[in-house]
Amino acid sequence: MNTITIGGKAGHGVKAAAKLSAKIFSDIGYYIFILNDYPSVISGDHNYSKITFDKKEIHSYYNDSDFLIALDERTLKEHKSEIKKDGVVLFDKNSFESNEKNHFGIPAGNIVKESEGISIMRNTALLGAFMYVAGIDFCVLEKILKKTYPSNAKINIEIAKKGYLYAKDNFKQKLKTKKIGKPKKFLCGNMSLSDGALNAGLETYIAYPMTPATSILHYLAGKNNVKTIQPENEISVITMALGSSYAGSKTMIGTSGGGFALMTESISFAGISEIPLVIVESQRAGPSTGIPTYTGQSDLNFTLNPGHGEFPLVVIAPGSPEQAFFNGSEALQIAWKYQLPVIVLLDKHLSDSSKTFEIDKKRIKKINPKLSKGGKNYLRYKFTKDGISPITFPGKKDTVVKVTSYEHLENGITTENKKDIKKMFDKRFEKIKNFEKEMNNLETFKVYGKGKNVIVTWGSSLGAVLEAVKEIKDVKVIQPIYLKPFPHKSIKKYLKKAKNIVCVEGNATAQLADLIKLNTGIEIKNKILKYDSREFEPIELRKELKRWFK
Partner 1 sequence: MNLDTNAKITWCPGCGDFGILNAFKGAVKELIDEGIKKENIVIASGIGCHAKIVDYVNVNSFYSLHGRTIPPLTGMKLANKNLKLIGFSGDGDCLDEGISHLIHAAKRNIDITIILHNNNVFALTVGQATATSPKGFKGKSTPKGSIEEPLNPIKLVLVSGATFVARGYAGNPNHLKKIIKKAVKHKGFSFVEVLQPCVIFNNSYQKLSKTVYDMNKKGHNINDMNLAMKKSEEFNGKIPIGIFYKIKKQTFDEHY
| Cβ contacts of 418 within 8 Å, gap of 6 or more | none
**248 binds partner 1, rule: CB under 8 A:** yes
Nearer to partner 1, 251 or 323 (CB): 251
The rounded distance, in Å, linking the Cα atoms of 52 and 247 is 46
Check binding of 209 to partner 1 (CB under 8 A).
Answer: no
User: Taking contact as CB under 8 A, which single stretch among the options 236-244, 302-310, 365-373, 498-506 is the one that binds partner 1?
Assistant: 236-244
What does each C-alpha distance from 249 to 73, 246, 305 come to in angstroms? 51, 7, 26
Note whether 288 and 536 are within 8 A (CB). no
Residue 204 touching partner 1 (CB under 8 A): yes
Does 390 engage in binding with partner 1 (CB under 8 A)? no
The three-state (H, E, C) secondary structure of 79-124, written as one string: HHHHEEEEEEEEEECCCCCCCCCCEEEECHHHHHHHCCCCHHHHHH
Q: Could you say whether residue 372 binds partner 1 (CB under 8 A)?
A: no
Q: Tell me the C-alpha distance between 169 and 129, whole Å.
A: 10
Q: Are 280 and 306 in contact (CB under 8 A)?
A: no
Among 242, 466, 472, 481, binds partner 1 (CB under 8 A): 242
Residue (253 or 498) nearer to partner 1, CB? 253
Confirm or reject binding of residue 405 to partner 1 (CB under 8 A).
yes
Amino acid (one-letter) located at 16: A
Contact yes or no for 193/325 (Cβ under 8 A)? yes
Scanning 45-53, 136-144, 209-217, 388-396 for contacts with partner 1 by CB under 8 A, the matching segment is: 388-396
Phi-psi region of 283 (alpha: psi -120 to 50; beta: other; left: phi over 0): beta
400 is a contact residue toward partner 1 (CB under 8 A): yes
For partner 1, the closer of residues 251 and 453 by Cβ is 251
| Strand duo 83-92 + 103-106: pairing | parallel
The reply on whether position 414 binds partner 1 by CB under 8 A is yes
User: With binding defined as CB under 8 A, does residue 246 bind partner 1?
Assistant: yes
Q: Is 252 in the site for partner 1 (CB under 8 A)?
A: no
Tell me whether residue 206 or residue 466 sits nearer to partner 1 (CB atom).
Answer: 206
Told to check if 93 binds partner 1 by CB under 8 A, we report no
Query: Can you tell me which of 205, 269, 536, 549 binds partner 1, judged by CB under 8 A?
Result: 269
Q: Is 78 in the site for partner 1 (CB under 8 A)?
A: no
User: Radius of gyration of the chain from Cα atoms?
Assistant: 26
Coil, strand, or helix at residue 29?
coil
Give the whole-angstrom CA distance, residue 243 versus residue 269. 12
We find the least distance from the C-beta atom of residue 288 to partner 1, in angstroms, to be 21
Give whichever of 63 and 228 is closer to partner 1, judged by the CB atom: 228
Q: Which residues bind partner 1 (CB under 8 A)?
A: 203-204, 206, 227, 229, 231-233, 235-237, 239-249, 251, 265-266, 269, 393-406, 411-414
